[in-house]
Amino acid sequence: MRLSEILYKEVSPIWSSYLTHPFIRELKDGTLPVEKFRFYMIQDYRYLYDYCKVFALGIVKASDPDLMRFFSDFVYFTLNGEMTIHRAYLKRLGASRKEILSTPMSLANVSYTHYMLEKAYSGGVLEVMVSILACAWSYELIGQDLAKNDPQTLQDPFFGEWVQGYSSDKYAQETRQLIDMTDRLGEGISPAQLEELKEIFVNCSRYEYAFWDMAYKMEK
């Protein structure tokens, strides 16, 4: 089995729970309160800054120029792709740059990003990849599930753009690049390292659930 297949098997029940979480369920129905989505978008925007730093640590850890370029590309994709959607939403929601940058990260958010950064600092390029992958891949799963099983969400006047972004071919292609690189780097790893990577992936997946929970409850 490829590394990504082993990792997915470990977290499949956790990821399935995202699809029934009240935040996703109400977003799908168009009943999610705007103030909860606004809270989520600000926290997620703050999260993405640290997410980029994890990719940047991949550049530091890499010794292969092609791998350095790979991580560099994803810093660019995040800052100029995913975060562009956030900026458009936050503008519609009346959130100024000053408010966004002065809003403290919630405890769940800062715990998650500090965990990823610690694993990236202390590990190698594969630990960087696995720390990142749970977020990117599970968002694709959510986006694809909504687009396939609840296609009306794509046309929602408010949440539709969010669903379109995470169910798009472009996002799927970028996620596939991350999965393929994880598999490439994971060839021939030891059983001990595999167990460490599984632990990181499970923990990041648990943090993802905690993030949805934090956003829905608007916990600081």
Q: Known catalytic residues? A: 135, 208
Query: Could you tell me the two tokens for 149?
Result: 């099983």
Exposed/middle/buried for residue 161 (C-beta within 10 Å: 0-12, 13-18, 19+):
middle
Count of residues for the chain? 220
Exposed/middle/buried for residue 64 (C-beta within 10 Å: 0-12, 13-18, 19+):
exposed
DSSP code of residue 103: S
Distance CA 205, CA 219 (A): 19
Per the CB < 8 A criterion, the answer to whether 39 and 33 are in contact is: no
Residue type, 90: L
Q: How many CB atoms neighbour CB 76 within 10 A?
A: 12
Per the CB < 8 A criterion, the answer to whether 154 and 164 are in contact is: yes
Query: Could you tell me the two tokens for 146?
Result: 């909504």
